[in-house]
């Protein structure tokens, strides 16, 4: 095999006199077994990635090294990436190293060019003392957390602080990234951080400065190489506790030091008492003519370091080519894509073995022939783009894990990816790639753990439109089953993401392998979803539930609410069982918008007298009732045709079949389809939940309530109330990190935009943090607000960045000072963007479209609103009496006995709506036609009014819980006996 194998016999015979040799596979000798027998103070290191820890081949590579460093797991943007301190990834990286018997290098404590985005936003331009305080506190927490971890022997304290244009005579330090200056003004961060690190680490831990292009490339000892040397020399002269310098060594054949040049540089550092580490070496083939040239570069660096007693560490930045940050195509590392050693490794091993003492002992391989490459059922086609490749024990590095609503995504002992998804969350194993694709074929082998629960295969366009390409009904199995799925061409767009979804939210465990995409040279559109059935279908029909289809059709997602179950029975019907008093609905969301048309549905209900509503939803989630079916109770399915009327300026994307009275009915549905008046061929511009360019009120001035489409999810709040000025007052408790939090109660989700709110506090030292929560229950900091007024309500705004994966559905304003405070809020609303849309004016009420005109108000005919809170007459004319609210004229409503009670408050009474969104001292409230509307007025004579219902003491009792209930002439619940 290799020349060094000839030496094994001699060395083994010599060693056998002194010890019994252990034999093992695979076929290479491990550097970790021999290198410290030559130099006990020398470490042969590697950068690791948590993604690969489950792979047994990867673990075997790791056993070749006696020092490991987390590639990203211990960095600021990982531990404190979302403003929550979490060392889990770093802990796991250290634990992995310990299992391999390796020591550990902490990387890194401070990297001025790569702070988390939230930190740059929050601290760029802030007082340097505030920045310093935060960073030093963060570093203290990290070091104290690991102070007793004896296997950590190095910390890269500062990383890449010297700028590229520095010289020995003009050293410049970074103050942030290319687009930020959050560390500007903190001129002493070098000595501050190193001294702090020394105070919070054990004596055996060595403190290192780490940088690139500082290794005398091309024999240049000036420039950045000289600048870094002078920087470290001045640190030593000024008593800064630094032990070593890390030379990263990201090099190639045209940009490298030779043996003599690197030896000279190592000696220069030795003279000032600083040891040298090669910390991140990779050698790109990009500027190397042959692999032999690349081997020579590696060997020059390795020999210069190993031969010099002042060079203590040689670390490769990644174990094998596929995990390299510069790309596998550059072949930069010492193990190949199949995780087997290259000649580069054997060159270095030869060099060390030649220096072994005569009594050296080490395990030797039983097999000296390289095993054949693994085989699988995968195609030989070069164009196959793997997401999960058999026997690699990982997600391919070209694909990022963008899964949502999952408990875990792990690799099992067989190399399968196992995704455990959350119940009722419709989670998905989802992978994103930077390399866009179009028409082609997906191959996947998978199994599910639950019988009858379908799995969807979805592709996502770059515009984030979701296209369901297959619904797999038979995924339940003990063995992986293979599926081939056609991907249609995306007109005017391309794809960059593939998802495997738990279509019914049944908390599936999906096991996958041999998952790849093969592009097609010829693209064809997906076949139409229409077909013949027992209804009046046409070529335009878009089926939701198709006879004999035994599923909800691809292109329609199950967005039902208030249900116990939604299943398919033995005849292929969808059977929806609803919860009592939840007004649930079987609701489906389409991936294409529609306008006017006709809905055909065949259904039956199990409860006599309980009406069923057919509802369509606009893209902005306005609900429009098309029909109320009174005769749904039946033993057989009955057919209904419902006209869908066009709504000016809006399109629909969702259809619901609702239990209108919340009677816990069971609905059975089939042959359910939509026939648009004009077929929609243009896909929606965004995901089903996207609602860009709109205003969403949470608390509207003058309304004394939280908007009915938002729920109060606050925590750490002792009490909250609306004061006489309509401000939402929250008494936040100290030491709870309490937050006033609002969660959307429907399916609307948000992307980028701007949050506006008016606020004041009782404590001028308050620090408010604005958080946006994703549907995956992760949160993103959108900014901190200090110097909040304590005297008057003042408007503030927070720029909301686009989410990286799942969208937002919850907003929080948090007391991060944690001292407790009284927080007043009003006029809280979110404006979704595109960037081309103008932001709202300082006073949004200057735009008459911002607040709908109440047609029940006499002043509306004159272009004004009616007064909601005032009865004070400021002016009187022939039209009526006028008051002033919020600096605007408003018409005062005269109290008349025949008027609806809520009209006197400036709102109509509900005509169709009977779903109660909120109850206050005035009565119960619904929402209808973009208006709040009154349902039942509060009354001292009727105890039921306190919970939002009228009294009907003489009516028949048809239901009992804690109270006795009847139904009034309007079909609404009323109280018989409290």
Tens of pLDDT, residues 917-947: 666 667 777 767 666 777 767 665 677 765 6
Residues 238 and 274: beta-carbon distance below 8 Å:
no
Helix axes 343-353, 31-38, angle to 10 degrees: 30
Highest mean pLDDT, choosing among 119-133, 361-375, 531-545: 119-133
pLDDT at 382 over 60: no
Q: CB under 8 Å to 124, separation ≥6 — which residues?
A: 176, 180, 181, 182
Report in angstroms the alpha-carbon separations of 356 from 66, 314, 352: 17, 18, 7
- Report the pLDDT value the prediction gives residue 836, as an integer from 0 to 100: 32
| 329 φ/ψ angles, rounded to the nearest 5 degrees | -65, -20
The larger pLDDT score, comparing residue 14 to residue 927, is at: 927
**Joined tokens for residue 542:** 């878009």
Percentage of the chain beyond pLDDT 70 is: 83
Percentage of the chain beyond pLDDT 90 is: 41
**Number of Cβ atoms within 10 Å of the Cβ of 608:** 11
Buried b (16+ CB within 10 A) or exposed e, 234-273: ebeeeebbbbbbbbbbbbbbeebbbbebbbebbebbeeee
- Report the pLDDT value the prediction gives residue 19, as an integer from 0 to 100: 33
What's the pTM? 0.48
The mean per-residue pLDDT over the stretch 127-137 comes to 95
pLDDT at 843 over 70: no
The mean per-residue pLDDT over the stretch 80-90 comes to 86
Collapsing DSSP states into helix, strand and coil, what is residue 70? strand
- Report the pLDDT value the prediction gives residue 219, as an integer from 0 to 100: 84
Q: What is the CA radius of gyration of the chain?
A: 34
The answer to which of 534-548, 562-576, 780-794 has the lowest mean pLDDT is 534-548
The mean per-residue pLDDT over the stretch 353-367 comes to 80
- Report the pLDDT value the prediction gives residue 735, as an integer from 0 to 100: 79
pLDDT at 569 over 70: yes
Q: CB under 8 Å to 892, separation ≥6 — which residues?
A: 866, 867, 870, 871, 873, 880, 881, 882, 883
Q: Would you say how long the chain is, in residues?
A: 978
- Report the pLDDT value the prediction gives residue 172, as an integer from 0 to 100: 94
The mean per-residue pLDDT over the stretch 422-435 comes to 89
Question: What does the alpha-carbon distance between residue 95 and residue 73 come to, in Å, rounded to a whole number?
Answer: 12
The larger pLDDT score, comparing residue 270 to residue 20, is at: 270
Where residue 486 falls among pLDDT bands split at 50, 70, 90?
Answer: very high
The mean per-residue pLDDT over the stretch 551-569 comes to 82
Question: What does the alpha-carbon distance between residue 97 and residue 169 come to, in Å, rounded to a whole number?
Answer: 41
Residues 323 and 49: beta-carbon distance below 8 Å:
yes
Q: Is the peptide bond before 433 cis (omega within 30 degrees of 0)?
A: no
**Joined tokens for residue 639:** 């057919």
The answer to which of 344-348, 594-598, 603-607, 811-815 has the lowest mean pLDDT is 594-598
Strand partners, 357: none
pLDDT at 427 over 60: yes
Where residue 844 falls among pLDDT bands split at 50, 70, 90?
Answer: very low
- Report the pLDDT value the prediction gives residue 340, as an integer from 0 to 100: 86
pLDDT at 291 over 90: yes
pLDDT (tens digit per residue) in 508-527: 999 999 999 998 753 333 33
The answer to which of 126-140, 575-589, 785-799, 935-949 has the lowest mean pLDDT is 935-949
- Report the pLDDT value the prediction gives residue 255, as an integer from 0 to 100: 87
Where residue 622 falls among pLDDT bands split at 50, 70, 90?
Answer: confident
Q: Residue 945 has what DSSP assignment? A: G
Write out the H or E segment, with its range, that includes residue 88. helix 88-99
Residues 806 and 779: beta-carbon distance below 8 Å:
no
Q: Residue 745 has what DSSP assignment? A: S
The mean per-residue pLDDT over the stretch 371-388 comes to 58
The answer to which of 7-11, 86-90, 209-213 has the lowest mean pLDDT is 7-11
Strand partners, 823: 730, 761
Where residue 497 falls among pLDDT bands split at 50, 70, 90?
Answer: very high
The mean per-residue pLDDT over the stretch 737-758 comes to 85
- Report the pLDDT value the prediction gives residue 76, as an integer from 0 to 100: 94
Q: List the end-to-end C-alpha distance of the chain, in Å, as a whole number.
A: 92
The answer to which of 402-416, 739-753, 898-912 has the lowest mean pLDDT is 898-912
Collapsing DSSP states into helix, strand and coil, what is residue 928? strand
In angstroms, how far is CA 830 from the centroid of its own chain? Answer: 20
Write out the H or E segment, with its range, that includes residue 77. helix 76-79
Highest mean pLDDT, choosing among 77-81, 134-138, 761-765, 802-806: 134-138
Strand partners, 577: 565, 666
Dihedral sign, CA of 152, 154, 158, 162? negative
Q: Which residue has the tokens 């190293």?
A: 97
Residues 594 and 651: beta-carbon distance below 8 Å:
yes
Strand partners, 371: none
Highest mean pLDDT, choosing among 303-317, 566-580, 626-640, 678-692: 303-317
In angstroms, how far is CA 216 from the centroid of its own chain? Answer: 42
The larger pLDDT score, comparing residue 94 to residue 706, is at: 94
Nearest to 437 by CA among 485, 379, 385: 385
For all residues of the chain together, what is the average pLDDT?
A: 82
Report in angstroms the alpha-carbon separations of 526 from 207, 366, 460, 548, 694: 60, 55, 15, 20, 33
Where residue 370 falls among pLDDT bands split at 50, 70, 90?
Answer: low
The mean per-residue pLDDT over the stretch 8-37 comes to 56
Residues 215 and 246: beta-carbon distance below 8 Å:
no
pLDDT at 25 over 60: no
Q: Residue 724 has what DSSP assignment? A: T
pLDDT at 853 over 50: no
Q: Is the peptide bond before 26 cis (omega within 30 degrees of 0)?
A: yes
pLDDT (tens digit per residue) in 855-865: 456 776 666 77
Question: What does the alpha-carbon distance between residue 912 and residue 100 come to, in Å, rounded to a whole number?
Answer: 68
Q: CB under 8 Å to 376, separation ≥6 — which residues?
A: 389, 390, 391, 514
The answer to which of 74-83, 255-264, 604-613, 661-670 has the lowest mean pLDDT is 74-83
């Amino acid at each position: 095999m290799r020349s060094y194998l000839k030496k094994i016999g001699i060395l083994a015979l010599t060693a056998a006199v002194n010890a019994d040799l252990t034999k093992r596979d695979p076929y290479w000798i491990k550097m970790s077994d021999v290198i410290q027998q030559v130099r006990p103070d020398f470490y042969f290191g590697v950068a690791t990635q948590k993604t690969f820890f489950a792979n047994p081949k990867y673990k075997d590579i790791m056993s070749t090294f006696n020092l490991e460093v987390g590639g990203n797991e211990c960095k600021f943007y990982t531990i404190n990436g979302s403003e929550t301190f979490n060392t889990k990834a770093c802990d796991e990286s250290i634990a992995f190293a310990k299992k391999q018997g390796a020591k550990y290098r902490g990387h890194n404590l401070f990297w001025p060019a790569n702070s988390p985005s939230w930190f740059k936003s929050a601290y760029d331009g802030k007082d340097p003392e505030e920045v310093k305080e935060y960073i030093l506190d963060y570093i203290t927490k990290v070091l104290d957390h690991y102070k007793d971890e004896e296997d950590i022997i190095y910390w890269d304290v500062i990383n890449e602080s010297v700028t590229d244009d520095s010289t020995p005579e003009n050293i410049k330090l970074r103050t942030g990234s290319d687009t930020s200056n959050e560390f500007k003004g903190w001129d002493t961060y070098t000595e501050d951080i190193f001294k702090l690190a020394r105070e919070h680490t054990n004596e055996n831990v060595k403190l290192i400065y780490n940088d690139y292009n500082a290794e005398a490339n091309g024999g240049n000892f000036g420039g950045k190489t000289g600048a870094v040397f002078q920087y470290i020399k001045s640190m030593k002269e000024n008593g800064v506790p630094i032990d070593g310098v890390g030379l990263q060594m990201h090099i190639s054949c045209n940009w490298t030091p030779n043996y003599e040049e690197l030896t000279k540089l190592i000696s220069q550092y030795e003279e000032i008492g600083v040891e040298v580490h090669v910390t991140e070496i990779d050698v790109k083939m990009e500027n190397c003519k042959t692999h032999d040239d690349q081997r020579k570069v590696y060997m020059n660096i390795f020999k210069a370091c190993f031969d010099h007693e002042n060079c203590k560490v040689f670390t490769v930045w990644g174990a094998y080519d596929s995990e390299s940050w510069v790309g596998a195509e550059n072949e930069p590392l010492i193990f190949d894509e199949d995780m087997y050693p290259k000649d580069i490794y054997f060159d270095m091993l030869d060099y060390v073995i030649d220096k072994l003492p005569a009594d050296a002992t080490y395990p030797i391989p039983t097999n000296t022939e390289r095993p054949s490459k693994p085989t699988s059922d995968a195609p030989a086609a070069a164009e196959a783009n793997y997401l999960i490749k058999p026997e690699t024990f990982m997600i391919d590095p070209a694909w990022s894990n963008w899964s949502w609503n999952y408990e875990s995504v792990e690799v099992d002992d067989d190399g399968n990816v196992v995704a455990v998804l959350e119940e009722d969350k419709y989670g998905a194993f989802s992978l994103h790639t930077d390399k866009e694709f179009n028409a082609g074929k997906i191959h996947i082998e998978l199994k599910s753990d639950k019988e009858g629960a379908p799995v969807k295969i979805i592709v996502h366009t770059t515009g984030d439109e979701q296209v369901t390409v297959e619904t797999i009904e038979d995924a339940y199995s003990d063995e992986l089953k293979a599926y081939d799925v056609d991907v249609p061409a995306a007109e005017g767009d391309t794809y960059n993401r593939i998802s495997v979804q738990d279509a019914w939210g049944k908390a599936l465990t999906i096991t996958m392998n041999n998952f790849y995409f093969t592009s097609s040279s010829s693209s064809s559109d997906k076949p139409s979803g229409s077909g013949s059935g027992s209804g009046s279908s046409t070529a335009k029909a878009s089926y939701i539930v198709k006879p004999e289809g035994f599923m909800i059709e691809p292109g329609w997602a199950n967005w039902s609410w208030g249900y116990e179950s939604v299943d398919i029975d033995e005849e292929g019907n969808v059977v929806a069982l609803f919860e009592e008093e939840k007004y649930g609905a079987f609701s489906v969301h389409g991936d294409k918008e529609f306008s006017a048309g006709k809905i055909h549905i065949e259904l039956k209900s199990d409860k006599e007298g309980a009406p069923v509503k057919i509802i369509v939803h606009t893209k902005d989630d306005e609900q429009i009732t098309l029909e109320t079916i009174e005769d749904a109770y039946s033993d057989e399915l009955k057919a209904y045709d419902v006209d869908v009327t066009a709504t000016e300026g809006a399109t629909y994307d969702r259809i619901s079949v609702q239990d209108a009275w919340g009677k816990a009915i069971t609905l059975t549905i089939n042959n359910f389809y939509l026939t648009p008046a004009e077929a929609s061929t243009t896909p929606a511009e965004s995901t089903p939940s996207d609602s860009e360019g709109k205003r969403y009120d949470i608390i509207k001035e003058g309304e004394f309530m939280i908007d009915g489409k938002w729920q109060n999810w606050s925590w750490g709040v002792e009490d909250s109330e609306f004061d006489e000025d309509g401000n939402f007052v929250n008494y936040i408790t100290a030491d709870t990190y309490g937050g006033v939090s609002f969660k959307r109660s429907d399916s609307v989700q948000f992307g980028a935009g701007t949050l506006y709110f008016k606020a004041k506090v009782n404590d001028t030292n308050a620090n408010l943090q604005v958080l946006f929560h994703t549907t995956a229950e992760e949160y993103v900091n959108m900014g901190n607000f200090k110097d909040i007024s304590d005297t008057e309500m003042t408007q503030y705004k927070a720029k909301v960045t686009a989410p990286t994966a799942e969208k937002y559905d919850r907003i929080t304003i948090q007391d991060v000072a944690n001292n407790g405070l009284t927080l007043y809020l009003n006029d809280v609303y979110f404006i979704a963007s595109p960037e081309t849309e103008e932001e709202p004016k300082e006073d949004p009420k200057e735009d008459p479209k911002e607040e709908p005109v109440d047609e029940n108000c006499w002043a509306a005919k004159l272009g004004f609103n009616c007064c909601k809170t005032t009865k004070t007459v400021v002016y009187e004319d022939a039209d009526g009496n006028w008051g002033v609210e919020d600096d605007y004229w408003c018409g005062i409503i005269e109290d008349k006995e025949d008027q609806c009670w809520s009209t006197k408050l400036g709102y109509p009474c509900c005509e169709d709506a009977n779903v109660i969104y909120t109850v206050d001292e005035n009565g119960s409230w619904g929402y209808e036609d973009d208006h709040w509307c009154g349902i039942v007025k509060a009354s001292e004579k009727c105890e039921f009014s306190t919970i939002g219902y009228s009294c009907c003491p003489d009516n028949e009792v048809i239901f009992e819980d804690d109270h006795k209930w009847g139904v009034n002439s309007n079909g609404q619940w009323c109280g018989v006996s409290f």
